[in-house]
C-alpha cells in the first residue's frame, strides 16, 4: 500500500493566488462559513437543544420555570412555563449596577412563596458563563427585597449572593455598598409591603446552574438551602462556547438572542407551536414559511380572549388594554385609543368621550408621544372634572396594551389626579418630579407586571410632565 505524501504548504494554491480576480479571498471564505453556521436552521436546533436542558433542570429541581424576557421564552415549552420576568442585563453591567424601579417583578413573589422557589431562564452570548441579568441583576433584586421584607432577620440573609468565578469580590463589594441606596429607592415608591410579606415565609436566595453543572449535586444542595431560604435558581440555558463556534457542529450559544437580526418576525410562541414544521424545512424554505406562520398566528391572535380584556392600573379608574378590547369599554367611559398608523391631529377627537391618536409604531411612536400628551391629558381632564367619581372610567388602548398605553396611563395618572386620586384643577397643576412620577409608575407596574413601557415612551412622559408649562 502506497501512503500518499503530505501536501507542502508552499504547494497549496489559495483562491486569491489562483489568478482569478473574481475568486474568493480567504477572509470572505471565513465570513461565508460563519454566516452559514449562524443560519436560522442552526439557531432553531440550538434553541431546542438548550430547551431540553432547561426541562432537565426543572425535572431535577422540581421547581416552576419562569422566562426572563425577551429571550427566555424561546427555551421553555409553553406547557411548562409558569410566568415571565423582566430583569435587564444592563442593570448588572459593571459600573452601571441598578435596582430597577420600573421593572419591579414583584409578581414573582407569589409564585416563589407558593412553590418554595422558582427557576428563571435566560441565555447569553458566546464565551460568557452567565448573562449579567442572572449573575448580578437578580442577586441585587433578591438582596434588596430581603432587606425590605425581612428587616429584622439575621444579616446573613441581607448579604449579596453572587456566582463564584463569575463576579469578582471587588465588584460584589461595590454592589453591596449600593444596596442601602437601592432599598431607599424602593421604599420611596410607597408600595404596600404587607401583601408582599404575606407571600413569603423565608428570604430569597439566588443559585446558578449551567450545562456544565451536575444537576444531582445541585438538587441535593437545594434541600439544605430550602430550610432557610426560598431558592431563586438562575438557569443559563445556553452551553458555553469558548472561541469560535465554527467547530461546534452548528451549535450557537445564545441562539435566541437578538431576534430582530435573524428571526424574520418569528416569535417564541410561534416557534413552539410549529417547531416540527420549522425544523423540517430547508434553510431556503424558512423565510417564506416563517412569513406565512407569523401572518397566520397574527390573525389567530385576534381571537385571543386576553386581548379583549381590560386591566385597572390606577385607583382613579384608569384601565388599559389592547385595541381589540374596544368592545369591553364600559358605557360612559372616556376612551383614549393610540393607533399604530399616524393620523392628523385635526382628526383625533371623535366625541366628548372618545379620542383616537395616531402615532405610528415602535420608537417613532414613543418619541411622537411627547407632542401628543398635552392634547390627550387636557381631553381626559375635562372628562374627569365633569364625571361622577364612582362611575368614572378612563380607558387607554394601544396595539400591544403594554407600551404606549402604559405611558399614556402614567401621564394621565400624574397630570389629571393628585396623590389622593382627586381630580386636579388647573391651578393645582404644579411641576412634577421624577420621584413622584416613579411612585405612580410603581403602582401601574405592580398592577400589570407584564407591562413593558419602553425607555423612549417613559422619556416622553417625563419630558411632558416636567416641562408641561413651557
CB atoms within 10 A of CB 387: 18
Q: Which of 20-24, 52-56, 136-140, 216-220 has the lowest mean pLDDT?
A: 20-24
Domain edge (last residue) among 234, 263, 292: 263
Return the pLDDT at 9. 45
Instruction: Pull the grid cell for residue 366.
Output: 414613543
Q: Flag whether 110 is in a domain.
A: yes
Domain edge (last residue) among 201, 233, 263: 263
Instruction: Pull the grid cell for residue 389.
Output: 367619581
Confidence of residue 103 (pLDDT cuts 50, 70, 90): confident
Return the pLDDT at 246. 60
Q: Flag whether 271 is in a domain.
A: no
pLDDT digits (tens, 9 = 90+) for 13-52: 445 444 454 445 655 544 544 555 578 999 999 999 999 9
Return the pLDDT at 206. 96
Return the pLDDT at 430. 62
Nearest to 160 by CA among 177, 176, 141, 138: 176
- Concatenated DSSP letters for 122-157? E---TT-SS-HIIIIIHHHHHHHHHHHH-TTS-GGG
Q: Regarding predicted confidence, which is higher, 305 or 459? A: 459
Angstrom CA distances, 170 to 94, 175, 178, stand at 11, 9, 13
Instruction: Pull the grid cell for residue 40.
Output: 436560522
Buried b (16+ CB within 10 A) or exposed e, 19-55: eeeeeeeeeeeeeeeeeebbebbbbbbbbbbbbebbe
How many angstroms separate the CA atoms of 160 and 167, rounded? 11
Check whether residue 340 and residue 258 sit in a common domain. Answer: no
pLDDT digits (tens, 9 = 90+) for 238-293: 998 876 666 567 889 988 888 888 889 899 999 999 999 999 999 999 999 999 99
Q: Flag whether 302 is in a domain.
A: no
* CB contact at 8 A, 77 and 235: no
Return the pLDDT at 21. 47
Number of domains in the chain: 2
- Concatenated DSSP letters for 396-411? EEESSSSSHHHHHHHH
CATH of the domain at 400: 3.90.190.10
* CB contact at 8 A, 256 and 269: no
Instruction: Pull the grid cell for residue 78.
Output: 409553553
Return the pLDDT at 244. 64
Q: What is the mean pLDDT of residues 166-179?
A: 95
Burial of 61 (0-12, 13-18, 19+ CB in 10 A): buried
pLDDT averaged over the chain?
86
Beta bridge partners of 119: 65, 233
Strands (E) located in 253-391: 311-314, 318-322, 334-339, 349-351, 354-358
Q: Regarding predicted confidence, which is higher, 303 or 314? A: 314
User: Sheet holding 204-209: strands in order across?
Assistant: 81-85, 65-68, 118-122, 230-236, 204-209
Check whether residue 255 and residue 318 sit in a common domain. Answer: no
Q: What is the mean pLDDT of residues 191-213?
A: 93
Burial of 194 (0-12, 13-18, 19+ CB in 10 A): exposed
How many angstroms separate the CA atoms of 251 and 38, rounded? 9
Check whether residue 242 and residue 326 sit in a common domain. Answer: no
CB atoms within 10 A of CB 396: 27
User: Could you tell me the residue range of the domain that residue 378 belongs to?
Assistant: 308-466
Residue 447: its H or E element: helix 434-447
Check whether residue 363 and residue 462 sit in a common domain. Answer: yes
Check whether residue 239 and residue 335 sit in a common domain. Answer: no
Amino acid at each position: 500500500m502506497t501512503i500518499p505524501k503530505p501536501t507542502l504548504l508552499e504547494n497549496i494554491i489559495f483562491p486569491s493566488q489562483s489568478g482569478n480576480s473574481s475568486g474568493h479571498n480567504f477572509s470572505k471564505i471565513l465570513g461565508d462559513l460563519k454566516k452559514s453556521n449562524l443560519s436560522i436552521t442552526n439557531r432553531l436546533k440550538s434553541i431546542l437543544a438548550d430547551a431540553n436542558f432547561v426541562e432537565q433542570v426543572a425535572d431535577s429541581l422540581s421547581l416552576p420555570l419562569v422566562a426572563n424576557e425577551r429571550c427566555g421564552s424561546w427555551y421553555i415549552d409553553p406547557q411548562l412555563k409558569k410566568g415571565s420576568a423582566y430583569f435587564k442585563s444592563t442593570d448588572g453591567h459593571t459600573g452601571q449596577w441598578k435596582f430597577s424601579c420600573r421593572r419591579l417583578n414583584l409578581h414573582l413573589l407569589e409564585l416563589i412563596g407558593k412553590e418554595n422557589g422558582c427557576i428563571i431562564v435566560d441565555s447569553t452570548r458566546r464565551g460568557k458563563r452567565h448573562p449579567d441579568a442572572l449573575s448580578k441583576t437578580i442577586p441585587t433584586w433578591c438582596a434588596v427585597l430581603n432587606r425590605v421584607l425581612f428587616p429584622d432577620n439575621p444579616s446573613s440573609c441581607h448579604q449579596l449572593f453572587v456566582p463564584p468565578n463569575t463576579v469578582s469580590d471587588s465588584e460584589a463589594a461595590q454592589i453591596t455598598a449600593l444596596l442601602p441606596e437601592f432599598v431607599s429607592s424602593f421604599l420611596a415608591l410607597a408600595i404596600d409591603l404587607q401583601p408582599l410579606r404575606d407571600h413569603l415565609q423565608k428570604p430569597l436566595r439566588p443559585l446558578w446552574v449551567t450545562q456544565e453543572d451536575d444537576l444531582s449535586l445541585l438538587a441535593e444542595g437545594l434541600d439544605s438551602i430550602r430550610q432557610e431560604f426560598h431558592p431563586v435558581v438562575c438557569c443559563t440555558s445556553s452551553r458555553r462556547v469558548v472561541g469560535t463556534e465554527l467547530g461546534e457542529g452548528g451549535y450557537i450559544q445564545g441562539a435566541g438572542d437578538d431576534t430582530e437580526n435573524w428571526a424574520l418576525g418569528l416569535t417564541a410562541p410561534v416557534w413552539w407551536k410549529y417547531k416540527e414544521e420549522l425544523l423540517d424545512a430547508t434553510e431556503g424554505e424558512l423565510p417564506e414559511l416563517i412569513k406565512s406562520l407569523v401572518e397566520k398566528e397574527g390573525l389567530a391572535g385576534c381571537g385571543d380572549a386576553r386581548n379583549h380584556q381590560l386591566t385597572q392600573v390606577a385607583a382613579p379608574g384608569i384601565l388599559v388594554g389592547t385595541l381589540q378590547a374596544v368592545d369591553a369599554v364600559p358605557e360612559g367611559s372616556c376612551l383614549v385609543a393610540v393607533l399604530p398608523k399616524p393620523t392628523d391631529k385635526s382628526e383625533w377627537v371623535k366625541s366628548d368621550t372618545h379620542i383616537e391618536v395616531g402615532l405610528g409604531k415602535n420608537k417613532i411612536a414613543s418619541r411622537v408621544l411627547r407632542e401628543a400628551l398635552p392634547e390627550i391629558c387636557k381631553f381626559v381632564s375635562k372628562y374627569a372634572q365633569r364625571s361622577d367619581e364612582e362611575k368614572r372610567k378612563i380607558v387607554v388602548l394601544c396595539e400591544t396594551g403594554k407600551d404606549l398605553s402604559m405611558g399614556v396611563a402614567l401621564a394621565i395618572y400624574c397630570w389629571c389626579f393628585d396623590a389622593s386620586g382627586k381630580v386636579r384643577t388647573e391651578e393645582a397643576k404644579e411641576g412634577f418630579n421624577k420621584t413622584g412620577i416613579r411612585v405612580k409608575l410603581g403602582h401601574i407596574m405592580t398592577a400589570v407586571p407584564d407591562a413593558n413601557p419602553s425607555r423612549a415612551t417613559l422619556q416622553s412622559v417625563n419630558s411632558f410632565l416636567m416641562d408641561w408649562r413651557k
